[in-house]
Amino acid sequence: MTEKNYNPEQKNMKAIKHQEIIGKKKTETAPIKKEIKDTEIKKISVPETSQETQKVSGEKTEVVEEKETKKDKKKVERVKKEEAVVNAKSLPISTLYAIAICKFIKGKKIEKALADLEDVLNKKKAVPMKGEYAHRKGKRMSSGKYPQRATEHFIKIIKSLQANSNYNSIENPIIVEAIANKASEPYGRFGQVRRKRTHVRLVAKENRK
């Protein structure tokens, strides 16, 4: 066996030289990278800001133009309608009572119809009915009744009809059309009872007489 020359100081010297070489490389490369980054930021930042401001200004001009078009649309005059219509769906009232009230209302002014229905609520006037009902006093009426729940719903509908006629600027509106139709009757609790439902349609036009 031949003995190798073992010198520990030689190893330490090699390691120190290797570290010095790595340190020199880092110091040479680091400032170059920083300078590149600064130049890139300067080159990129200036044109982008100008483009962004141009885009923002362009968007603002577009928004202003849209607002002006909306104002022009609002200035357009409304078309005057000749009639006011109200459709009430699935009212919880009897169809028979609704038909009787429609006949009682039809051909009257809205104010007159409201006054008559309020008299029905106070039991001063009766709604003429066909069938086996008690006789009431009144012109062209043999039997009649005071359907209070139905009259309350009809008062609400007629008030909305009055509001529609005022919005459409109809003068002296008269109830020209009053129709009541039977709606689909839903089942009550546990399916033992069928609930009463009725559709009502009212139309008012201007009184030209």
Instruction: Give the start-to-end residue ranges of the domains of the chain.
Output: 8-76, 83-206
Q: Which are the contacts of 104, defined by CB distance < 8 A and separation ≥ 6?
A: 116, 127, 128
Let me know: does 98 contact 201? Beta carbons within 8 Å.
no
Report the pLDDT value the prediction gives residue 16, as an integer from 0 to 100.
76
Residues 6+ apart with CB under 8 A from 148: 120, 121
- CA neighbor of 157 nearest in space, from 182, 125, 126, 180: 180
Across the chain, what does the average pLDDT equal?
78
Identity at 80, one-letter amino acid code: K
The band of 8, judged by pLDDT with boundaries at 50, 70 and 90, is low
- List pLDDT tens digits, range 63-111: 545 555 655 555 556 677 889 999 999 999 999 999 999 999 999 999 9
Type of residue numbered 115: A
CA distance 175 to 177: 6
Query: Hey, what CATH topology would domain 83-206 get?
Result: Ribosomal Protein L22; Chain A (3.90.470)
- Confidence at residue 130, expressed as pLDDT on a 0 to 100 scale: 86
Structure tokens at 58: 């362009």
Q: Residue 190 has what pLDDT?
A: 86
CB distance 131 to 145 below 8 Å:
no
Q: Residue range 122-143: average pLDDT?
A: 87
User: For residues 149 and 94, what is the distance between their CA atoms, to the nearest angstrom?
Assistant: 9
Using the predicted structure, report yes or no on whether residue 22 has a pLDDT greater than 70. yes
Assign 52 a pLDDT band (cuts: 50, 70, 90): very low
Whether the pLDDT of residue 143 is over 60: the answer is yes
